[in-house]
Amino acid sequence: MRVLLTGLAGFIGHHVGEAILKSTDWEIVGLDRLDGTSTQHRLTEIEDWEKHKHRVRFVWHDLKAELNGYVQDKIGPVDHIVHLAASTHVDRSILHPMEFVMDNVVGTCNLLQYAVVQQTLRGRLRKLVYFSTDEVFGPAPAQTRYSEWDRYRSGNPYAASKAGGEELAVAFHNTYRLPVLITHTMNVFGERQHHEKFIPNTIQKVLKGEKVIVHADQTCTQPGSRYYIHARNVAAAVLFLLEHGTAGEKYNIVGEREVNNLELAEFVAKTLDKRLHCELVDFHSSRPGHDLRYALDGQKLQAMGFEYPKGFEESLAKVIRWSVDHPYWLGM
């Protein structure tokens, strides 16, 4: 079995790659352009990398360009495609929306066209996973959790670009019968995450004794909330869906419980045995284009028999302690 994993050198991508190496005998072809927050150092730090590296082949390519014959020959035949490559940071999408359209819409279309060629010429493509986000649904009112096929209401250019790629994936399934399935994933955390993200950024600021900014409602009394999930749980869900998922379907990958960002910052400080310096800020005024609450319904995956390997608090505590021992991933 060979799997093409786009974005292998990215945060979530390298965790999915690690799960494949540890739990299967598959070969991985990693497709990445190695800019922005991507780095092959993530791969070389994987546990038992020396033992597994002979099963990994790396191909440099920017998906804004089509996968021409040369790139296709470098990749070779594959059984699965997991499309994780994307531009993801909301703040940057607000400043540079066209970059996100090119990476997440045009890039996805180029990959889907390549998959059609794979299916036509080699006929061995079993699954193509398009990795989408909870943000395509926009903010979730209190007590609301969105199901897989609910309507889109993107609150920022990043979300809209992921929704665009998602619709292309659906269209390619309907038009070309590509074996596409789609995941929506909540806020992912874990080892080797870029320090622009909330959890590593909070760890960094608590360690430095700096103020942590928590976005809240307009009254500055209700913090924003998320269903945080460790990248290893996400990787386990992806592997489960490669085996048990149905082409043409969508699946929500959801954290075990809702946590507001003030509670999360307090947990970080407590774990580090540090004092928390914190300020709640009206997110509408300070961060337009961002949503206060995201929430997905995870019953579909649960009903299929999938169980997440690790709990939230256990995973978060482990990441906090790991980050202290690897401060260079915090930008310190």
Q: What phi, psi does 267 have (nearest 5°)?
A: -65, -40
- 135 assigned to active site: yes
Cα-Cα-Cα-Cα dihedral sign, residues 12, 19, 185, 259: negative
Contact 308, 236 (CB under 8 A): yes
Q: Which amino acid is at 244?
A: H
> Pick the catalytic residue: 158, 228, 251, 294?
158
Q: Which amino acid is at 137?
A: F
| Residue 205 in tokens | 């600021």
Contact 214, 276 (CB under 8 A): no
Look-up of token digits 């945080």: 228
Can you tell me whether residue 314 is helix, strand or coil?
helix
- 134 assigned to active site: yes
Look-up of token digits 């002979």: 54
Contact 217, 282 (CB under 8 A): yes
Can you tell me whether residue 183 is helix, strand or coil?
strand
Largest CA distance in the chain: 60
Measured between its terminal Cα atoms, the distance across the chain in Å is 40
> Pick the catalytic residue: 18, 134, 150, 291?
134
- 273 assigned to active site: no
List the Cα angle 121/57/242 in 5-degree steps: 60
> Pick the catalytic residue: 135, 150, 166, 191?
135
CA 46 to chain centre: 18
- DSSP for 230-252, please give it: EHHHHHHHHHHHHHH--TT-EEE
Catalytic residues: 134-135, 158
